[in-house]
Amino acid sequence: MATKDWLDNHAKVTAYLHFSLYASLEKWMKTHKIKKASQALTIILEHYLEGNIPIEVMPENLEQEVKQLKVKATEIDGLEAAVAEQQREFNDEINSLRTEIDGLRQALINAGLSSLRERVEDIPRGKIKFSYSDHDAKQGLTKTDLCERININGSQINQWATMLNLDPDEYLFELTGWKKPLNARRYFPVLENDQKQAAKTSQ
């Protein structure tokens, strides 16, 4: 096969070709990606004279293109590695954030439970002593009057009763020993014996 130097020095061999034949040669060169006519003619002659199977000649800058492809492949590999590293970092950040959120949620729950526990512990329990007259005991006291005697307003009674899961009248009875009869508007003192009897009945 002719050397590259020979092909470069004898490029004008195409001057001896008929125009139509040269046009066919150019078409064949484009199909096989051959840039120089001398290179194309050498391949055709080798095939005709030596019976070789025609090969598709790659551009002369094949080596450069291969290098570029290798560079691109390296860049792609580097990009994939960078993406994978970023994905790992992202996953680590997500897991860390989830851990922080779980910890914060548990801290809020604990704080809420602690606050609720403290609030429940601060709720008055048991009988509160207060003074009242025989007239009060006979005529009865309204809820407002009864709350004023123990220095607790009705809203607090309702709120604390809810926190203790008690009926407001039951909680007020616990604090005062006064109870409102069915369909009555006023509260009356329940004697100690009556309280003991009511406790036995409830048991």
Distances (CA, A) of 66 to 59, 62, 76: 11, 6, 15
Return d(Cα 181, Cα 64) in angstroms, integer: 105
Contact predicate 132/142, CB 8 Å: no
Q: 153: Cβ–Cβ under 8 A, 6 or more apart, which residues?
A: 147
Helix (H, G, I), strand (E, B) or coil at 93: helix
| Three-class DSSP category at 188 | strand
pLDDT band of 173, cuts 50, 70, 90: very high
The whole-angstrom separation of Cα 136 and Cα 148 is 13
Is the model's pLDDT at 25 over the cut of 90? Answer: no
Hey, CA dihedral for 9, 15, 21, 22, is it positive or negative? Answer: positive
68: Cα within 13 Å, side-chain hemisphere: 5
Q: pTM of the entire structure?
A: 0.39
Which residues are within 8 A (CB) of 187 and not within 5 positions of it... i.e. 6 or more apart? 140, 141, 142, 143, 146, 172, 176, 178, 179, 180
**Is the distance from CB of 42 to CB of 7 less than 8 angstroms?**
yes
Which of 34-38, 50-54, 137-141 is predicted least confidently? 50-54
How far apart (Å, rounded) are the C-alpha atoms in residues 121 and 102? 28
Tell me the pLDDT band of 201, cut-offs 50, 70 and 90.
Answer: very low
Place of tokens 């369909």: 183
> How many of the other CB atoms lie within 10 Å of CB of 42?
19
In whole angstroms, give the CA distance from residue 141 to residue 165: 25
Cα-based angle 6, 7, 13 (whole degrees, multiple of 5): 110
- Give the pLDDT confidence of 41-58 residue by residue, as tens digits: 777 777 766 655 444 544
pLDDT digits (tens, 9 = 90+) for 77-128: 777 777 788 888 878 788 777 877 777 777 666 666 555 555 666 788 888 9
